[in-house]
A and B are shown apart, each in its own frame.
Chain A
Amino acid sequence: MKDPVIEAKAITKTLGRGAGEVQALRGIDLSLRRGELTLLMGPSGSGKTTLLLILGCMLAPSSGEVMVCGAPTSQADKEGLAKIRRDHIGFVFQSYHLFPTLTAVQNVQLALDIRSERRRKARERSRQALKMVGLEQKTNALPLELSGGEQQRVAIARAIVANPSVVLADEPTAALDGSNGKTIMRILATIAHEQQSAVLVVTHDPRVLPFADRIIQIEDGRLVDERSGERERVRMPRSAAFGAD
């Protein structure tokens, strides 16, 4: 078994204070490994997003430890956590969060620009990333000129362009129709299997189940079930896999 990219040990998280205090996570142990697409599923309020934020180094646990690529994160300050995210993690958001005034390629390039990568090289890599998600024809389109599925693909290109160890995706198919959702999941599965990144998808969407290598259920802040997924074979050639809605 491969070494975990992210390892969470005995994570608890309490939100709010006094009468409004909520125990959002109650002793979570979880590992994400390269080459795996893991689904984190559970009802609303079960702690999915809180766990995603903690794994993504955006929220500190009340207790427990998160290790990213073998390094503990508990001692890192805000800038230190930002650097961990920059170096190891790519994010895909439910609402895409593209920059409306930048073109598709610039949105992707931004992920390299914050890493101080030289502009020419960053642009080339960004074009490659857009090509991987089947948007090589739309590099100069503004987000408003793209469909929801295309916008999400740009967001995925942005998340993977710097070759992160792990990609964390929050409800990436929630705003998409079945066809676009399927495309997005294919891309995420291929990122896990071909780029050997760890991919965690937080979702409500049962349509994504066939793409999972592993499915984790969370309820009331506890992991209640973990099983292997029923992944369909998506290891088709890249040119065929990406971009085909």
Chain B
Amino acid sequence: MYNEKVIDHFNHPRNVGELSDADGIGETGSFKCGDTMKLYIKVKDDRIEDVSFQTYGCGAAIASSSMLTEMVKGKKLDEAMQITNQDVADQLGGLPPLKLHCSNLAADALHNAIEDYRRKHDQV
């Protein structure tokens, strides 16, 4: 059902945990299937200097969160805002169709984290 890359991210998730000094925190969830993702970002010079995540969900949810953190580290905020859930799935080499709807929410959490950062830093 899952490809090797998904399994690898599930088995060895990157950037797990809470950033105690996060500049922005974004949360998202699927009410229906219960998945919840929390994304923490540390921003320096308009770039994502550090990122971490916490996820409650299935294998796809964990893998896509982990994948996303790898994709955005070092990215400019505007670039990071362009990343879609589909991009994350593509980077993982694809997810089972059903998972695209319910578990692939990492990019939404990232966007929320960036918006949170911008709100806190009067960039809105």
Are A and B a genuine interacting pair, yes or no? no
B interface residues with partner A (beta carbon < 8 Å): none
Residues of A within 8 A of B (CB): none
